[in-house]
Structure 1
């Protein structure tokens, strides 16, 4: 037994440990929110979720299981519990697997490098041997600091930088007592091959490679559909995000979607889209200067009218499966962010952004909500959990056996 009391310890928005029971409760709550439950037939669709343990990828996995009744494979890259606890994604995956098992969904979870051809081959073998040799859906939701090209062995590193000039922005931080402060952050512009390296990691190359290898083995079902999850965001954060290096990668991802859509249409009558999701508190988004302030202000404007990731992914699954019409913009993208980018909402957020200081921030933004959402990413601040009690930290990875 490796039970112990786990308290939140953090450096900024990065927490050192995760709480297994809190992570489990978060996943259970997501499952309940993804209702209504469905009756799962023998022909339940087979789905592959790449990046299944966190953020929108987790929402895609839980919603697909609970709402659509998918079976299939989830892939993530998490650290096991050792001297420290496991990563939050490790515990969320264990909780997701248990819910899938309990509800009769045959879902396999793999832990490893989704960029590698070894992982692609392992997945292909599983599809052939366990899931009838036909894949219906692939959801691509990967945020990573680096990627090694399987063909060349070259490792690329992504960077978060503006393009063309230095960028200074307001940003939200919390002091040691959890009190919010508005400070400034300045980032130097991309230089050398920063843009190309970021595109190589976060663009569409790996997504396209996944489709190519699965297609070459004849594993794509008739009507196969794939969606890569993306973000556009506000002009308030545009210079560091959509007009920055990450934005260049997202543009490449959308170009890849158009190429894949044409190819899949000819090959299996299939389709490829990007899904533009809306702002949320995720482990990836909190690393971007200015995003914390923006999301806190957005919550201050909208309150409970903000649409959480699980509801956004429910809408995406409904469109992908035909429960609702597939609604695409002129660029071929599913737009789940229209509520965020409504002109009235953006005007209200911009007004608050301009007025935001350490002295005014608690009136303008929902900082308590934001801080609690960050803690919940790691299983803390979850209602109903007694954090003074010891919990088992040595939770095993889900078994792959039938």
Structure 2
């Protein structure tokens, strides 16, 4: 068993190591924020759910909220790194171990599988597990994947996504994390997407994999009557639109939303089910921090909204209430469920645009909540969390439970 003191080693918005105790405490905080319902005991109780991308960001929030608020059981799928002699495990690994323990403690039968979610082999493993452990039925599927690359399960080729505007280069303000821990506002110019780059990004981050999951489980006759599935999307602010919604990643999100329409028609006919895209609000995640302009936008949005910002656990709690009938499942004119109204309020966006126009390194601290953002970035890796003693050696090779033969 490996134990050592773990301190954050930063590289921009990333930490090279993660803290297992801090990650576990962060998961505990999510559970409490979800306002859990009374425990459900027994393997035969509770709806069966599959969350693809269950270890980070909105997928993690969907998993915790589903367990705590909806009393689900089922399977989480993710791709995380185990600890080595030189490095800790990834933060998602430690978070998954913590969620697995919380589920066990509260009587939820939740299994987590680590592997390539794009691959058909893992889809088959999940199908077998649903058949053998969960009575051969699936009630809910949430798809929350933001991957930089994908190996096509048919051709075997691996392709990478890009974050670029479509049609013309775009210059935007962005946030730079300086070596001394301070923030700088800089300008960066993104070259337009070249031939094929948009299509490859759509193939990786669009609705292709979501549809393959649903089709695979349909073919295995594992979808329950009334089966419900959603994939997570984002629209965002006019401030970030040239990079996001009007860029390659936006094309992928539009593909997700179009896929929802096709899937909804199929599921309604075959199992009386439904499919829709859920448009989330912005949040501090490893994925969002990698997109030029988003981190700066987040800082300014926080400066406008303060505590009125709705974190992923709040958004996903609302989503589960809608999916399970606690609230009406209302959709917009394009058939999407919206949990981002707090972000896109007209007055809020007007205030953010004013700050965006005037922000510089010199006045950033006056327009944004830097301490909040720094704490949120550290929290992603289990650091800076109240109540954790970071001077105490901790075990790095934390396991999570995987059923025999799964």
Q: TM-score, normalised by structure 2?
A: 0.97
The aligned counterpart of 1:32 is 32
For the pair 1:172 / 2:157, whether they are aligned, the reply is no
In structure 1, C-alpha distance between the alignment counterparts of 2:70 and 2:224, rounded to whole Å: 17
Contact persistence 1:38–1:68 (CA under 8 A): no
Say whether residues 1:111 and 2:114 are aligned partners: yes
Out of 54, 61, 64, the position equivalent to 2:63 is 61
1:3 aligns with 2:3: yes
> In structure 2, what is the equivalent of residue 15 of structure 1?
15
Aligned length: 402
In the alignment, structure 2 segments of 5+ residues that lack a partner are: none
Q: Is the 8 A contact 1:51 1:142 kept in 2?
A: yes
Equivalent residue of 1:340, what SS?
helix
Q: In structure 1, what is the equivalent of residue 51 of structure 2?
A: 49
Residue by residue, what CA displacement relative to the aligned partner does 1:53-81 show, whole Å, maximum 9, x if unpaired?
00000000000001111000000000000
Are residues 1:355 and 2:358 paired?
yes
| TM superposition shift of 1:43 | 3.1
CA-CA distance at 1:187 after TM superposition: 1.0
Aligned equivalent of 2:277: 274
Aligned to 2:333: 330
Kept in 1, the 8 Å contact 2:113–2:402? The answer is no
Question: SS at the partner of 2:344?
Answer: coil
Does structure 2 retain, via aligned residues, the 8 Å contact 1:180–1:362?
no
Shift of residue 156 of structure 1?
2.4
d(CA) in 2 for partners of 1:176, 1:152: 42
Aligned counterpart, 1:80: 82
State yes or no: 1:95 paired with 2:81. Answer: no
| SS state at 1:226 partner | strand
- The 5-angstrom pairing of residues 308-347 of structure 1 reads 308-347=311-350
| Secondary structure of 2:323's aligned partner | helix
Per-residue CA shift, 1:252-303, capped at 9, x if unaligned? 1100000000000000000001100001000100000111100000000000
Which of 191, 194, 199 is the aligned partner of 1:191? 194
Deviation at 1:399, TM superposition (A): 3.2
Shift of 1:13: 0.5
Instruction: Give the drift of 1:123.
Output: 0.3
SS in 2 for 1:381: coil
Find the aligned partners of 1:286 and 1:220 in 2 and give their Cα distance: 36
Shift of 1:39: 4.3
Give the distance between the partners of 2:78 and 2:36, measured in 1 at CA.
Answer: 26
Paired residue secondary structure (1:172): strand
- TM-score normalised per structure 1: 0.98
CA contact (8 A) 1:297 1:366 kept: yes
**5+ long unaligned stretches in structure 1:** none
Partners in 1 of 2:281 and 2:264 — Cα distance? 23
Matches within 5 A, 1:146-295: 146-295=149-298
172-181 or 46-55, which moves further after superposition? 172-181
Cα RMSD over matched residues? 1.1
